[in-house]
A = this chain, B = another copy of it.
Amino acid sequence: MTRKKLSSVNLWIVGSIGIDDIKTRTADRKNLLGGSVPYSTAAASFFTRTGAVGVVGSDFPAAFDKRWQAFGIDLSGVQHKEGATFRWACEYDANMIERETLKTELGVFASFMPELPNAYRQVPFVLLGNIQPELQMHVLNQAKGAKFVALDTMNLWIEIAKPALRKVIRRVDLLTVNDGEARMLTGKWNLCDCAETILKMGPSYVVIKKGEHGALLFSKKGVFIVPAFPVRKLVDPTGAGDSYAGTFMGYLARAGRVTDTLLREALVQASAMASFGVEGFSLERFAKLTTKDIQKRVTELKRMMRV
């Protein structure tokens, strides 16, 4: 894969960078490049020049850096620290719906303190990937030029750091959560009620992800129902939500502005990209992907949505 490098970073993404072991019914893969940042930045890189913010340890293979850089991703925000890279292992059930976490070793990620490269401080588009809300706030405070900030989180922070999380939510333009997290965050069951509650917390947009069932975008202007692309050959669902968020932010960053119409298009592109991501382990499918492949799948998906 050869990709032209664009001149300046339009979007940066903070989150985890890790080394994953993943077991499915048919495969058992070890030492994969994983974490939210590789998935999301690789997906975003098809749309705009993207920067990664995270931390790796002294055991992080040089080959990973190289593989990742092949996407044209700017890695100047990735800290290299003495110690072990974040390691995570999981096993999926036969239907790839539930997964059991077998190992979580934080390593250098435990003391991660994100510092924004100077060049990123004026970047307009920001995706705060799933890390401790306090760290999300810390890095957001450095992003003086941010124009549109999206936030991802997880059930853990809703449970143990809700007040800090609420503070970050108040500051962002878009919150992306899955249906379970939306319910946990709001204490409501109906997803329309969840979205209404979240919109009152601050963001102008909420994207509620439902995995294979697609996602819902809520704003003051209404609801957009975006289907998932029906995947025939599901290889590994890990990182699908990250690829999804990376794509819609990459698409918006390329557009340079956010409207309801652009966001709808961005989410369809995100569905297409997420469906490619799960057709391989780690970034393997993305590494072989062309812009033409993406356009073809987006066209197919739109045909499936058309009345």
Contact = CB atoms under 8 A, between A and B. Distances in A.
A277 interface: no
Contact of A223 (B95, B224, B304, B307): B304
A88 B214 CA distance: 34
B230 A303 contact: no
Nearest to A230: B192
Most buried by B among A190, A214, A232: A190
A232 B193 contact: yes
Most buried by B among A95, A303, A306, A307: A307
A264 interface: yes
A264 B210 contact: no
B304 A222 contact: yes
A224 B210 CA distance: 18
Interface residues of A, number: 29
A222 B303 CA distance: 9
Contacts of A225: 214, 227, 230, 304-305
A12 B223 CA distance: 36
A64 interface: no
A44 interface: no
Interface of A: 94-95, 189-193, 210, 213-214, 216, 222-225, 227, 230-232, 234, 264-265, 268, 302-307
Given A192-B232, A223-B230, 6 more contacts: A94-B189, A213-B213, A213-B214, A222-B304, A224-B306, A264-B306
